[in-house]
Structure 1
């Protein structure tokens, strides 16, 4: 499976705040918080689902992977999504290992595993 997703009873807003706090502990900052519902409504499209896409980055890790393999830039920054589906808030992300494995570079894959473990831990703690 290319993604990791957890469920929580928290609202989307609270889950976003909690995810941000947990990610900061691992030195991942939120570069952009894309509120899909708000943006689509501003553009004249009716969209009632609460859906947020966070673009996150750990600058040290970004530097490390880019120095190792410039093609990793195609996968940066990392994304975390928080949305409501059937009354349940979900927090998810594409797995870095799924993306990094496309490069067939064992050193990059090892870094991807480390990043994935740290990010999934953050998502789990945010629940």
Structure 2
């Protein structure tokens, strides 16, 4: 599976706040918070669900992987989405280990799996 997704009874706001705290512990920061619903509505398009995309980055890790292979920049920063679905808040991300398959480098696969495991731990901690 190319993604990891969990659900919670927390609100989107609570989930994002908890996620930001757990990401900070792993030295990831939120570079940008993109509110898709708000943006679509501003452009005149109806969208009835809250859907937030967070772009997250650990600068040290980004520098290391980009130094090794600048093509990985196509996948950066990492994205985590928080959205409403069937009365629940869902939080998920594309798995870095799935994305890195496009760059044929076994060492980068190990690196991506490490990032993935840490981001999944942050997501799990934020919904616990």
* Class of the TM-score when normalised by the shorter of the 2 chains: over 0.9
CA distance in 2: counterparts of 1:45 and 1:20, whole angstroms:
29
What are the Cα deviations for residues 25-70 of structure 1, in whole angstroms up to 9, with x where unaligned? 1111111000111111111111110110001110000001001111
CA distance in 1: counterparts of 2:44 and 2:74, whole angstroms:
31
Which residue number corresponds to residue 94 of structure 2? 94
2:60 equivalent to 1:60: yes
CA distance in 2: counterparts of 1:33 and 1:120, whole angstroms:
19
Unpaired runs of 5+ in structure 2? none
Which residue number corresponds to residue 50 of structure 2? 50
Which residue number corresponds to residue 3 of structure 2? 3
What is the aligned length? 127
2:4 equivalent to 1:26: no
Please report the TM-score for the alignment, with normalisation by the length of structure 2: 0.96
CA distance in 1: counterparts of 2:31 and 2:13, whole angstroms:
17
Pairwise CA RMSD: 0.7
What are the Cα deviations for residues 71-98 of structure 1, in whole angstroms up to 9, with x where unaligned? 1011000000000101011000000000
Please report the TM-score for the alignment, with normalisation by the length of structure 1: 0.97
2:87 equivalent to 1:103: no
Unpaired runs of 5+ in structure 1? none
